[in-house]
Amino acid sequence: MFGTVCKGLMCTVLFCPEAPVLVTQRSMVSVYEGSDVQLTCILKANYPATEITWYNNLKQHVIETPSKYVLQHAAAWSNLTVRETDGLRDSGQYWCSATNAVGGTEIPIHLLVKRYPMPPNVTINKIVYSTHQQTEVDIDWLIKTEGDITGFIIERRRVPATEGKRDVDPPWLKVAVNLDPSIRTYKMGGFDPTGLYAVRIMAVNHRTVGHPSEEKRPAMPSFNAYPAVIGAAIGGMIIAAIITVLLFMYIVRNRNNNPRLHDMLFGIRNSQSRENINYPEDESVGGAERDVSREEHGSPGPAMTSPRATVSPPDLPPRDDNEPVSVTITVMATS
């Protein structure tokens, strides 16, 4: 653009700068969230005193948030780096703008920040306090569907003791983040034993956080002391039995020295056991007598003798094979 200024006969031709012209290499840029992305704006003709400015997707001047946006300028081009793109906040139309004395121009650059697919849902399989101290919680979880996972997040919150009248649920606090995607179990510490807690877990695919699992409260550990208690009880019983046996043996051996104590303890018992011992002897004698008489008459049928033969122990005299049932029962009871 040229202009003429005349003073009398003298005319001076003046050079007047044009308004700037901007171009871009890519007016549509897409990126997966989490990474940095660079938007480029090029000034078509290099006019002096041209300023390039950038506006973000909310039409805010980018220099207002230097942590998010980095600017690089050279003579003809300007780069805007959007750092750690977020799929929810950073997509949209960005603007590159240039102005000089004559005028201004701006061009849009569309940024699409793609989100990673939703990771699968997670289910808490088991959640228990590690100990009765209730300061640590063991959790393990399941994933029922396929899908990309880059990690897990575990959150907890305190549950008010009085259910019902709660205006606002307490906030969820992160207990663990960036848990390895291959693990399915975790031990959390830092629980207040007097508090009630709810815990939930979600899978993460890069920056996409999955649906939280159903929240669950840690259960008390199963009473692991049971085997110990039972073991102690059995051990105690065995020791008591051994002591009793030793005591009885001592008294039996020393019955001549201390006959009164022996009689006191064994008086009734002894007579009973004597009866028990004598009974089979009497029976077998009687049985033998009956046996003889039976053999003489040839009366016993095969149905009566066969079951007894299987039950009788081998160390009994052979004549016991045909003994009456009472002998067999006595042997079994004493063995």
Residues that bind ligand NAG (CB under 6 A): 25, 38, 40, 72, 79, 121, 145, 211
Report the DSSP beta bridge partners of residue 107. Answer: 96
Of residues 38 and 293, the one with the C-beta less far from ligand NAG: 38
Count of Cβ atoms closer than 10 Å to residue 142 Cβ? 13
Q: How far is the CB of 38 from ligand NAG (least distance, A)?
A: 5
Of residues 202 and 327, the one with the C-beta less far from ligand NAG: 202
Of residues 60 and 72, the one with the C-beta less far from ligand NAG: 72
- CA atoms lying within 13 Å on the CB side of residue 207: 14
Of residues 132 and 211, the one with the C-beta less far from ligand NAG: 211
Separation between Cα atoms, residue 286 and residue 324, nearest integer Å: 10
Q: Are 106 and 52 in contact (CB under 8 A)?
A: no
Separation between Cα atoms, residue 270 and residue 278, nearest integer Å: 12
Q: How far is the CB of 170 from ligand NAG (least distance, A)?
A: 21
Q: What is the DSSP string of 64-103?
A: G-TTTEEEEE-SSEEEEEEPS--TTTS-EEEEEEEE-SS-
Of residues 78 and 322, the one with the C-beta less far from ligand NAG: 78
Q: How far is the CB of 72 from ligand NAG (least distance, A)?
A: 4
Count of Cβ atoms closer than 10 Å to residue 62 Cβ? 20
8-state DSSP, 35: S
Q: How far is the CB of 79 from ligand NAG (least distance, A)?
A: 4
Q: How far is the CB of 213 from ligand NAG (least distance, A)?
A: 8
Of residues 38 and 65, the one with the C-beta less far from ligand NAG: 38
* Residue 49, CA distances (Å) to 39, 62, 101, 280 in order: 22, 20, 8, 128
Q: How far is the CB of 189 from ligand NAG (least distance, A)?
A: 28
Of residues 79 and 150, the one with the C-beta less far from ligand NAG: 79
Q: How far is the CB of 75 from ligand NAG (least distance, A)?
A: 12
Helix (H, G, I), strand (E, B) or coil at 131: coil
Of residues 52 and 327, the one with the C-beta less far from ligand NAG: 52
Of residues 75 and 303, the one with the C-beta less far from ligand NAG: 75
Separation between Cα atoms, residue 273 and residue 201, nearest integer Å: 70
Q: Are 94 and 123 in contact (CB under 8 A)?
A: no
Q: How far is the CB of 151 from ligand NAG (least distance, A)?
A: 18
Q: How far is the CB of 94 from ligand NAG (least distance, A)?
A: 14
User: 54-58 long-range CB contacts below 8 Å, 24 or more apart?
Assistant: 54/78, 54/80, 54/94, 54/95, 54/96, 54/97, 55/94, 55/95, 55/97, 55/106, 56/82, 56/92, 56/94, 57/90, 57/91, 57/92, 57/93, 57/94, 57/111, 58/92
